[in-house]
Amino acid sequence: MWERFKDQIQVFGRSLLLPIGIMAPVGMLMGLMGAFTQSYMIEQFPFLGNETLQLILRSTQQISSIIFSNIPVLFAMGVAYGMAKHEKGIAVFASIVSYLTLLITMNVYLNATGNLADSEIMGELGQGMVLGIQTLKVDAAGGIISGLLAAKLTDRFYRLQLPLAFAFFGGKKSVLILSFLCTIPIGLVVPFIWGGFTRMLIGISPIMMNPTFGPGVYHFLNRALIPFGLHHVLSSVVRFTEAGGVWMIDGESYVGILNAMNKVLFELGPTHEAWGRVMPQISPYLAPGQMLTTLFRIPAIGLAMYHTAYKDNKQIAKGIILTVVLTAFLGNITEPMEFSFMFISPVLYLIYIVMCGLTVIPMSFLDIRMGYIRGTIFDFGIFGLLYENTNWFNLVLLGIANFVIFYFAFRFLIVKLDAKTPGREDVDRDVTLLNEKRYGEIAALVIESLGGRENIVDVDNCVSRLRIDLKDQKLVDGEKLKGSGASGIFFPKKNHIHVVFGPHVEFVRNEVDDYLVGIGRESTV
């Protein structure tokens, strides 16, 4: 039961990547538009004051804002799609039915009990207008509830057979009907439990949001949860719930650090008092905290790995290390580097996550005021250099200190622990197929190495790894699997293997799926 629960939590965490995936690039676009429409930016670059250009910029910003105005809807669809095992399209459809029903049911409850607030004070009572309905603002949690319900009902009832007279309403249609009916009691119960739930999250908020050591606790837990795929859950809780604090800005409360960030970054700008009051407190939990890892720590670790690689292996190690460093630097994906030493040297990884927690704490005192949620060099340019009053140079100074600490620590520990990091293995993996993007051949090799089609039960993937259920893990040929270019292979539990491909994983997954259904290119599998 525990293993099943843990698996479900991992799938849930991966499903949150879908809405986050659209929020990140749109957030960058909003950041650019928001920067170019601020008065301080127009003063520095007078050509931005052109009326036609400003109209285009403001219109683009307004269009982009629709994503952030409907985060619960995105979460409902993303969770339903990610959690459902069958008929994912129906699950997404049902999640919207459920979410709309949840909103109106809570509205009816508030109205019937006389708790529907006047528009002037509804924000103070946790209410607001959502899709034109005044209701309890459960924010992302409402979407998650609807997504989970829709996924469960889809898997359970998508083949439901009814008596002939009602046959039209069976099968997939029954999922939509049941989503509507089952959400009604949930909408009546939520107002009762939401108050207690909110108090609980506020109770743990002082630990996560402590102005001194809070960022250290958060980043330690974030890195520690990566092996289990649960770091996305932690991030979402802090970003969208009371665990990330309730921030008062211009007399209105904003739940979670990302909602507060969106308000200050995209609407108020560097001249508002909240820029100096709120941004330094929430920045360590978002892009600036991540930038320490992607722009400084990962390159430092990569350099340490290169310098400790065996002389004969340095050339091939350089290509591998450079790839994973650039993946983090440009794409905000750190797992390929972390997986390169996580399981071959757990002690080294433990030291790594402790160092990540400790070395982010100084950020609390450096008055860094930057967004957004990704830690790429592009985010640094947009949200650090283009905005005023960001104190980006303090981030660079702290980053340089992190680089030096991580470089020398890893250079010493890799040798001391004799960790088989890239370039120190007895047999180096062959990345030729990955570099040449020969994903069909990789898929054929993966399937063959796992014991063939008949030994594979289910295939899934997250950001960087294939997650495959097997009938018998004894049939896995690890040596042959190395030839696919995988940077990591491990068994988190019996008959379940993770194969790390980094940013290539989705393309490999697509080819594996094609082979399993018999439409892949001919192979010996």
Residue ranges of the chain that CATH labels 3.30.1360.60: 432-516
Give the pLDDT score at 213. 93
Q: pTM of the prediction?
A: 0.63
Give the pLDDT score at 127. 79
Query: Which residues does the chain have with pLDDT short of 50?
Result: 427, 522-525
Residue 87 host element (H or E): none
Phi, psi at 116, each rounded to 5°: -75, 115
DSSP string, 362-406: GGGGTT-----S--SHHHIIIIIISSSS--HHHHHHHHHHHHHHH
User: How many CB atoms are located within 10 Å of the residue 411 CB?
Assistant: 18
412: Cβ contacts below 8 Å, ≥ 6 apart: none
Up-side HSE of residue 295: CA atoms within 13 Å toward CB?
21
What is the C-alpha to C-alpha distance for residues 58 and 292, in angstroms, rounded to an integer?
Answer: 32
Give the pLDDT score at 493. 78
Fold of 432-516: Gyrase A; domain 2 (3.30.1360)
Give the pLDDT score at 523. 43
Up-side HSE of residue 133: CA atoms within 13 Å toward CB?
18
Give the pLDDT score at 524. 42
What is the C-alpha to C-alpha distance for residues 244 and 254, in angstroms, rounded to an integer?
Answer: 10
Task: Tell me the per-residue pLDDT of 131-154, one tens digit each, with 9 for 90 and over.
Answer: 999 998 887 788 989 999 999 999
Give the pLDDT score at 174. 94
